[in-house]
Amino acid sequence: MNEIIIDVEGMMCEGCEKRIVNALSDVKNIKDVQADHKEGKVVIKSKKDVDMEVVKEKIENLGFKVKE
Protein backbone atom coordinates (compact mmCIF):
# COMPACT_ATOMS: atom_id res chain seq x y z
CA MET A 1 0.00 0.00 0.00
CA ASN A 2 1.24 3.48 -0.87
CA GLU A 3 1.45 6.20 1.76
CA ILE A 4 1.38 9.87 0.84
CA ILE A 5 2.10 12.56 3.44
CA ILE A 6 0.88 16.09 2.74
CA ASP A 7 1.75 19.20 4.77
CA VAL A 8 -1.37 21.30 5.31
CA GLU A 9 -1.59 24.76 6.89
CA GLY A 10 -4.66 26.06 8.67
CA MET A 11 -6.00 23.03 10.55
CA MET A 12 -6.84 24.19 14.07
CA CYS A 13 -8.91 21.40 15.61
CA GLU A 14 -10.42 17.94 15.27
CA GLY A 15 -13.28 19.47 13.29
CA CYS A 16 -10.79 20.58 10.64
CA GLU A 17 -9.38 17.06 10.55
CA LYS A 18 -12.85 15.58 10.04
CA ARG A 19 -13.65 17.99 7.21
CA ILE A 20 -10.50 16.95 5.34
CA VAL A 21 -11.06 13.23 5.97
CA ASN A 22 -14.66 13.50 4.75
CA ALA A 23 -13.66 15.47 1.64
CA LEU A 24 -10.95 13.01 0.65
CA SER A 25 -12.70 9.77 1.53
CA ASP A 26 -14.54 9.68 -1.80
CA VAL A 27 -11.48 10.37 -3.99
CA LYS A 28 -10.75 7.50 -6.36
CA ASN A 29 -8.19 4.95 -5.09
CA ILE A 30 -7.91 6.43 -1.57
CA LYS A 31 -8.37 3.64 0.98
CA ASP A 32 -7.66 5.56 4.20
CA VAL A 33 -7.14 9.18 5.25
CA GLN A 34 -5.81 10.49 8.54
CA ALA A 35 -5.39 14.15 9.41
CA ASP A 36 -3.46 15.59 12.35
CA HIS A 37 -4.01 19.28 13.08
CA LYS A 38 -1.20 19.36 15.68
CA GLU A 39 1.38 18.09 13.18
CA GLY A 40 -0.20 19.85 10.18
CA LYS A 41 -0.16 16.62 8.20
CA VAL A 42 -2.58 14.54 6.17
CA VAL A 43 -1.67 10.89 5.52
CA ILE A 44 -3.30 9.13 2.58
CA LYS A 45 -3.10 5.39 2.02
CA SER A 46 -3.89 3.92 -1.37
CA LYS A 47 -3.35 0.75 -3.38
CA LYS A 48 -3.13 2.61 -6.69
CA ASP A 49 -2.07 6.05 -7.88
CA VAL A 50 -4.07 9.00 -6.54
CA ASP A 51 -4.71 12.16 -8.54
CA MET A 52 -2.89 14.66 -6.34
CA GLU A 53 -4.40 17.64 -8.16
CA VAL A 54 -7.85 16.46 -7.05
CA VAL A 55 -6.59 15.99 -3.48
CA LYS A 56 -5.01 19.45 -3.39
CA GLU A 57 -8.12 21.08 -4.85
CA LYS A 58 -10.42 19.42 -2.31
CA ILE A 59 -8.22 20.47 0.63
CA GLU A 60 -7.86 24.04 -0.62
CA ASN A 61 -11.59 24.33 -1.34
CA LEU A 62 -12.10 23.79 2.40
CA GLY A 63 -9.95 26.85 3.11
CA PHE A 64 -6.67 25.12 4.00
CA LYS A 65 -3.33 25.52 2.23
CA VAL A 66 -1.29 22.61 0.87
CA LYS A 67 2.42 23.30 1.38
CA GLU A 68 4.63 22.11 -1.45
Q: What domains sit in the chain, N to C, each tagged with a CATH number? A: 2-67 (3.30.70.100)
CB 1 within 8 A of CB 50: no
- The whole model's pTM is what? 0.93
More confident residue, 47 or 60: 60
CA pair distance 48, 9, nearest whole angstrom: 26
pLDDT reading at 68 higher than 90: no
pLDDT reading at 55 higher than 90: yes
CA pair distance 27, 40, nearest whole angstrom: 20
CA pair distance 2, 57, nearest whole angstrom: 20
pLDDT tens track for 3-46: 999 999 999 999 999 999 999 999 999 999 999 999 999 999 99
